[in-house]
């Protein structure tokens, strides 16, 4: 497990009550539920990993699609 960092979170009375209720029902500490919720949120909304091969064939030309025929002329001969 990673090192835990202490922080303060402000919740409404209703949210705090529901959190305590869930923790009691699941026999888990409230802090554990908060950590789990934050991790899930961060995973869902965080930056997505891109394949390392993305952009591997990039030509560096910005006009490639407009000039494809001209640029490929003579290839395969």
Global confidence as pTM: 0.59
* pLDDT 10s digits, 9-55: 999 999 999 999 999 999 999 999 999 999 999 989 888 777 878 77
Per-domain residue ranges for the chain? Answer: 10-46
DSSP-derived secondary structure for 20-33: HHHHHHHT--HHHH
Other C-beta atoms within 10 Å of 77: how many? 4
């Amino acid at each position: 497990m990673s090192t835990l960092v202490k922080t303060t979170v402000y919740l409404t009375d209703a949210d705090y009550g529901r959190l305590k209720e869930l923790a009691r029902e699941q026999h888990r500490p409230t802090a554990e539920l908060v950590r789990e919720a934050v991790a899930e949120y961060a995973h869902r909304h965080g930056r997505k990993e891109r394949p390392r091969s993305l952009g591997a064939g990039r030509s560096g030309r910005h006009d490639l699609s407009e000039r494809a025929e001209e640029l490929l002329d003579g290839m395969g001969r």
